[in-house]
Amino acid sequence: MHQFRCIPLDTGFAEKTRKSAIDDFGYPITRRVEAGKTYPCRHCLTEAPADNGMLLLSYQVPKPRSVYGHPTAIFMCGTECSQFTAENTIPDIVRNRLVVLRSYDEDGMAIYDANELVEGKECDGTLQMLLGRKDVAHVNVHTARAGCMLCRIERV
pLDDT tens digits, residue range 129-148?
999 999 999 999 999 999 99
Question: How many domains does the structure of the chain reveal?
Answer: 2
Q: Determine phi and psi for 96, rounding to 5 degrees.
A: -85, 10
Q: What residue type is 3 in one-letter code?
A: Q
Asked if residue 88 lies in contact with residue 128, where contact means CB atoms within 8 angstroms, the answer is no
Domain final residue, candidates 33, 53, 77 = 77
Asked if residue 71 lies in contact with residue 60, where contact means CB atoms within 8 angstroms, the answer is yes
pLDDT tens digits, residue range 47-78?
999 998 999 999 999 999 999 999 999 999 99
Q: Span 40-50, mean pLDDT? A: 97
Contacts of 115 (CB under 8 A, 6+ apart): 100, 101, 102, 103
- 125 DSSP assignment: H
Full domain range(s) for residue 148: 86-155
Q: Do 73 and 16 share a structural domain?
A: yes
Q: Do 93 and 45 share a structural domain?
A: no
Give the per-residue pLDDT at 45: 99
Give the per-residue pLDDT at 25: 95
Q: Do 150 and 105 share a structural domain?
A: yes
Domain-embedded: residue 21:
yes
**pLDDT above 90: residue 16:** yes
Give the per-residue pLDDT at 52: 83
How many CB atoms sit inside 10 A of residue 80's CB? 11
What pTM does this model have?
0.95
pLDDT tens digits, residue range 78-135?
999 999 999 999 999 999 999 999 999 999 999 999 999 999 999 999 999 999 999 9
Return the ∠ at Cα 13 (arms to 139 and 82), rounded to 5°.
Answer: 80
Domain final residue, candidates 77, 105, 125 = 77
Domain-embedded: residue 61:
yes
